[in-house]
DNA sequence: TCTGGGGTCCTAGGACCC
DNA sequence: TCTGGGGTCCTAGGACCC
């Protein structure tokens, strides 16, 4: 059997690159994109990485650095990033028959059919085309397994010589590549495992590959074994071209300012439930279980968190029905005197919309409610999110609990009113 | 003062059944 | 009344990913 060849295409500093496409003046300047509520740094340009600002740093902790280096700060603009991602993925897809869209900014490709001598040129072509068509710079790592392709990609990004492209298949430098890869940078090794491995003298990917099998198996389970095999060039993670159905759907938000009254919490939860209902319907799923939760912040003394799970008598994705149950649940778990900072709803035990168990005593006309939901989704899609909404979600256009994005760029590509002007 | 959101998988242990 | 073993299912917790 011919050995598999995987490529990992990864957008460089994706959110920052999206902002730069429409603001070319930001090139070579330090840029940060923030999380919801403008809280933490979630994307950093190379200039910012060079300042040792790590991902997840709260922005208030680096106020002085921002000022000193004139770092450009942006709120998250998911409409823009989602659309740019689609353009990038469509472009890559036009080159290959097998693609796994792994995240908003990464895709694995199967290049087994490309002849060895052609692979580098083929990938260069992908790189150039993506940049030309979308303005997004990408790096590509190539190897016999996904884990090695990840490593190749990391090095491709960092090394000046590689110019964003590195092929480690049959490479005489493979050991060297593994040796210069910190063990914590291996795909599947996080903080905890990293600490453990380093304690045992396993500092880099090469040492991890050659480490005692029983030790890795015992601590990291079957994933550890697969990881070692992948580092040896034996593929254990195949390309997943058809994403499996989701197993759960969550909608949750942190509030910029703490919320203390039940009316606000109810509005927030009703809003999250509506959003969750939309997501369920888009997936063509119904939920059997809904969990509603509220909590105080993590950084205070007097904490409180509570949740309520609701087993739905008939699995559903019907927003008003879900809102009713959620409102009941909130009544039960809400406590005065706590500064609530976060709330959310989780849908679990999902089933396909068309093949669920109906209830014997079900009094809801499900055909009718489905029609209403379909129309509502269609109108909101056409006229903009939130055009039609339920009164329970609140009538105030900017309620206290609303997520803030004070430094957001325009939705350049998805809103006629925000198109860039030349 | 100010600290994100949405996922997946594996494992150990307990309950329960035969 | 005492004794054994094997299997399945569920759940909570812990790890990871982006």
Banded model confidence at residue A297, pLDDT cuts 50, 70, 90: confident
Judged by DSSP in three states, A147 sits in: helix
* Angstrom distance, A14 CA to C18 C1': 12
Q: Which nucleotides of B are covered by protein (CB under 7 A)?
A: 1-11
Are A265 and A362 found together in one domain? yes
Are A257 and A364 found together in one domain? yes
Query: Is the residue at A54 inside a domain?
Result: no
* Angstrom distance, A135 CA to B5 C1': 27
Are A183 and A296 found together in one domain? no
- A202, A231, A260 — which closes off a domain? A231
Query: Is the residue at A405 inside a domain?
Result: no
Are A258 and A388 found together in one domain? yes
Query: Is the residue at A208 inside a domain?
Result: yes
Kindly compute the dihedral angle of the four CA atoms of residues A177, A182, A188, A190, in this order, to the nearest 10 degrees.
-170
The total domain count for chain A is 2
The mean per-residue pLDDT over the stretch A241-261 comes to 93
- The Cα–Cα gap between A417 and A422 comes to 14
pTM score, whole prediction: 0.94
Are A272 and A214 found together in one domain? no
Long-range contacts of A395-404 (CB under 8 A, 24+ apart): A399/A264, A399/A267, A399/A268, A400/A255, A400/A257, A400/A259, A400/A264, A401/A253, A401/A255, A401/A259, A401/A264, A401/A265, A401/A267, A401/A268, A403/A36, A403/A37, A403/A253, A403/A255, A403/A256, A404/A37, A404/A38, A404/A75, A404/A256
Query: Is the residue at A382 inside a domain?
Result: yes
Strand pairing partners for A310? Answer: A290
Asked if A410 CB < 7 A from strand C, the reply is: no
In the sheet that holds A6-11, the strands lie side by side as A99-103, A106-110, A6-11, A138-143, A165-167
Q: What is the pLDDT of residue A356?
A: 58
Are A327 and A272 found together in one domain? yes
The mean per-residue pLDDT over the stretch A218-243 comes to 95
* Angstrom distance, A346 CA to C5 C1': 40
Query: Is the residue at A165 inside a domain?
Result: yes
Asked if A56 CB < 7 A from strand B, the reply is: yes
Q: Which nucleotides of C are covered by protein (CB under 7 A)?
A: 14-18
Are A271 and A139 found together in one domain? no
Are A345 and A303 found together in one domain? yes
Are A303 and A212 found together in one domain? no
Domain that holds residue A281: 249-393
Q: Are strands A138-143 and A165-167 parallel, antiparallel or unpaired?
A: parallel
Are A386 and A327 found together in one domain? yes
Nucleotide nearest A223, from its CA to each C1':
B10
Q: Are A203 and A181 in contact (CB under 8 A)?
A: no
- A169, A204, A231 — which closes off a domain? A231
Query: Is the residue at A39 inside a domain?
Result: no
Query: Is the residue at A224 inside a domain?
Result: yes
The mean per-residue pLDDT over the stretch A160-181 comes to 96
- The Cα–Cα gap between A65 and A53 comes to 9
- pLDDT tens-place string over residues A117-158: 999 999 999 999 999 999 999 999 999 999 999 999 999 999
Give me the A residues in range 377-416 that sit within 7 A (CB) of strand B.
403
- pLDDT tens-place string over residues A58-89: 999 999 999 999 999 999 999 999 999 999 99
Are A288 and A159 found together in one domain? no
């Amino acid at each position: 059997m011919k050995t598999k060849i995987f490529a990992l295409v990864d957008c460089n500093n994706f959110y920052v690159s999206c902002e730069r496409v429409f603001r070319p003046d930001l090139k070579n300047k330090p840029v940060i994109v923030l999380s919801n509520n403008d809280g933490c740094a979630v994307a950093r340009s190379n200039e910012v990485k060079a300042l040792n600002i790590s991902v997840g740093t709260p922005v208030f902790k680096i106020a002085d650095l921002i000022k000193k280096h004139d770092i450009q700060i942006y709120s998250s603009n998911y409409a823009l990033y989602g659309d740019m991602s689609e353009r990038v993925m469509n472009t890559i897809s036009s080159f290959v028959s097998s693609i796994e869209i792994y995240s908003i900014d990464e895709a694995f490709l199967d290049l087994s059919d490309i002849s060895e001598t052609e692979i580098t040129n083929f990938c260069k072509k992908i790189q150039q085309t993506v940049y030309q068509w979308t303005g997004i710079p990408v790096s590509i790592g190539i190897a016999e397994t996904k884990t090695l392709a990840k490593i190749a990609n990391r090095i491709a990004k960092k090394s000046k010589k590689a110019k964003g492209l590195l092929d480690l298949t049959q490479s005489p430098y493979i050991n060297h590549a593994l040796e210069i890869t910190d063990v914590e940078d291996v795909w599947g090794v996080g903080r905890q495992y990293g600490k453990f491995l380093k304690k045992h003298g396993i500092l880099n990917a090469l040492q991890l590959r050659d480490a005692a099998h029983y030790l890795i198996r015992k601590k990291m389970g079957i994933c550890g074994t697969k990881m070692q095999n992948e580092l040896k060039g034996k593929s254990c993670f195949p390309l997943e071209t058809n994403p499996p159905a989701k197993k759960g759907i969550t909608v949750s938000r942190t509030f910029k300012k703490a919320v203390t009254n039940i009316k606000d919490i109810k509005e927030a939860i009703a809003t999250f439930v509506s959003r969750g209902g939309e997501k369920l319907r888009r997936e063509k799923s119904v939920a059997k279980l809904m969990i509603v939760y509220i909590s105080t912040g993590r950084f205070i003394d007097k904490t409180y968190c509570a949740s309520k799970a609701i087993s739905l008598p008939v699995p559903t994705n019907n927003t008003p029905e879900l809102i009713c149950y959620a409102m009941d649940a909130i009544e039960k778990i809400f406590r005065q005197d706590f500064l609530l900072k976060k709330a959310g709803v989780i849908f679990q035990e999902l089933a396909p919309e068309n093949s669920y168990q109906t209830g014997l005593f079900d009094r809801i006309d499900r055909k009718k409610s489905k029609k209403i939901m379909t129309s509502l989704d269609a109108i909101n899609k056409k006229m903009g999110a939130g055009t039609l909404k339920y009164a329970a979600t609140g009538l105030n256009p900017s309620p206290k609990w609303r997520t803030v994005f004070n430094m957001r760029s325009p939705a350049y590509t998805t809103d006629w009113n925000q198109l860039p002007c030349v």
